[in-house]
């Protein structure tokens, strides 16, 4: 399968699927090469003076294009309520707003995730690899819910 035929399965951000959506967005922005706009590793280039040089204009155009792609990746994967929540924000601010809204780390949620982990049992005719994969997923969800 060629790289041009690979496609990510879209994940729409809703209540309770922050982790899956976050992974999708990182993968989508990684494919586009614009994750740095969201992670703040790439900030808007400063202009030194009122007349920017050709190199500064080119860098600004590249950054603006990447911002548009990153914000587009966010907007294509959120519902209408979340769209109105982040309206008018740049990609990094929109991501931070959505994270604050959806990455809930309360004790009830953590307990529920811990129960899911504790109750993970191997199903009949399930391979050990599949079982350990499910267990690892449950553990990651629980660990991601803990405060950092």
- Based on the fold, state whether residues 74 and 138 are members of the same structural domain: no
- Based on the fold, state whether residues 21 and 76 are members of the same structural domain: yes
Q: What is the C-alpha separation between 137 and 14, in angstroms, rounded?
A: 19
- Based on the fold, state whether residues 111 and 96 are members of the same structural domain: no
What is the number of structural domains in the chain? 2
- Based on the fold, state whether residues 26 and 66 are members of the same structural domain: yes
Beta bridge partners of 13: 78
Q: How confident is the model at residue 91 (pLDDT cuts 50, 70, 90)?
A: very high
Model-level pTM? 0.67
Q: How large is the average pLDDT for residues 81-94?
A: 94
**Residue among 77, 58, 66 nearest 34 (CA):** 66
Q: How large is the average pLDDT for residues 78-93?
A: 94
> Which domain covers residue 136, as residue numbers?
107-145
- Based on the fold, state whether residues 97 and 117 are members of the same structural domain: no
- Based on the fold, state whether residues 22 and 73 are members of the same structural domain: yes
Provide the greatest CA pair distance for the chain. 70
């Amino acid at each position: 399968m060629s790289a041009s035929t690979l496609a990510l399965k879209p994940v729409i951000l809703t209540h309770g699927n922050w982790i899956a959506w976050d992974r999708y967005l990182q993968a989508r922005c990684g494919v586009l090469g614009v994750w740095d706009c969201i992670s703040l590793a790439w900030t808007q280039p400063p202009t030194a003076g009122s007349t920017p040089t050709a190199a500064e204009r080119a860098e600004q155009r590249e950054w603006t294009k990447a911002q548009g792609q990153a914000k587009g990746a966010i907007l294509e994967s959120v519902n209408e309520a979340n769209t109105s929540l982040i309206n008018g924000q740049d990609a990094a601010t929109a991501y931070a707003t959505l994270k604050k809204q959806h990455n809930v780390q309360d004790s009830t949620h953590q307990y529920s995730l811990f129960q899911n982990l504790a109750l993970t049992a191997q199903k009949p005719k399930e391979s050990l690899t599949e079982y350990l994969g499910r267990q690892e997923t449950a553990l990651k969800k629980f660990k991601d819910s803990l405060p950092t």
